[in-house]
Amino acid sequence: MAGFKTHISVSTACGIGYGLAGYYYLDVPADEAILAGTLCSFGGMLPDLDSDSGVPVRETFAFLSAIVPMMVMARLRDTGLPPHTLLVVGILTYFVMRFGVSKLFKKYTVHRGMWHSIPASLSVGLLVYILAYAHGQFLAIYTAVGAWLGFMSHLVLDEIWSVERKGVRVRLKKSFGTALKFWTTRSLWANVSTYGKLAILVAIVVLQPKWLTQVHPHDTNGATPAHQVADERHNNARTREHARESRVLR
């Protein structure tokens, strides 16, 4: 299978390209493009959370424990909760991620199990979509696709490394087909659990409860259309251009 450096290098390259494409062609604000690119890069490490040990796993959970609370606090910022309550939520989320979720992964996952699968990648994308909805639907989709792309880059690389080439001969390793998969033959419960969590996330996104769509007081639809973002960037560019012309005339 591909090593950690290969995974992070490829996902980072994908993240840089994805962020630049969003900024230049989709008129995504620079900070949002950087966030999506970063999540794409980080997504390349996520599938290996089912490994038993190692520095990459420890560092990945440390990063998750830092970024997830921040995304949760940003998501709940416009719900009317007081700042101290948001801080408590952020702290609790950190402890849940650092000492709860990490323990669950170690106890209930096996390497190359259902966490290494296409439905798991979709769950990651949907979860990021829900957490990133604070800035509207368009940017939430853009950010979620970035995280999903990074996750998928890991799975694709694992399958590529499962093909062994010796001259003109090609041999498939035992690991072939264990990454880009929709189910596993090892455990029925793993399949049920994976698709159950995916179904819950799909239901949340489709049904769109009030807490999901209530983003900004001035935006009742909870969405930030792409053309609004483009107009804002265009106006900012014109302001900078006028400032430069004024300096030249002086």
The predicted structure's pLDDT at residue 247: 54
The predicted structure's pLDDT at residue 228: 52
Report the alpha-carbon distance of residue 74 to residue 102 in Å, rounded. Answer: 23
The predicted structure's pLDDT at residue 167: 66
The predicted structure's pLDDT at residue 77: 81
Report the alpha-carbon distance of residue 95 to residue 217 in Å, rounded. Answer: 31
Q: Residue 209 CB: number of other CB atoms within 10 A? A: 10
Instruction: Confirm if 181 and 166 have CB atoms less than 8 A apart.
Output: no
Q: Give the contacts of 247 (CB within 8 A, at least 6 positions apart).
A: none
Report the alpha-carbon distance of residue 213 to residue 220 in Å, rounded. Answer: 8
Residue 54 Ramachandran class (φ > 0 left, ψ -120 to 50 alpha, else beta):
left
pLDDT in tens, the chain (250 residues): 668 889 999 999 999 999 999 999 999 999 999 999 999 999 999 998 888 666 678 888 888 999 999 989 988 887 778 889 999 999 999 999 988 998 888 888 888 899 999 999 999 999 999 999 877 889 999 999 999 999 999 999 999 988 877 766 777 777 788 889 999 988 899 999 999 999 999 999 988 766 666 554 434 344 444 445 445 554 555 565 555 556 555 5
Residue 236 structure tokens: 């900012």
The predicted structure's pLDDT at residue 217: 46
The model carries a pTM of: 0.81
Instruction: Confirm if 121 and 65 have CB atoms less than 8 A apart.
Output: no
Report the alpha-carbon distance of residue 239 to residue 227 in Å, rounded. Answer: 18
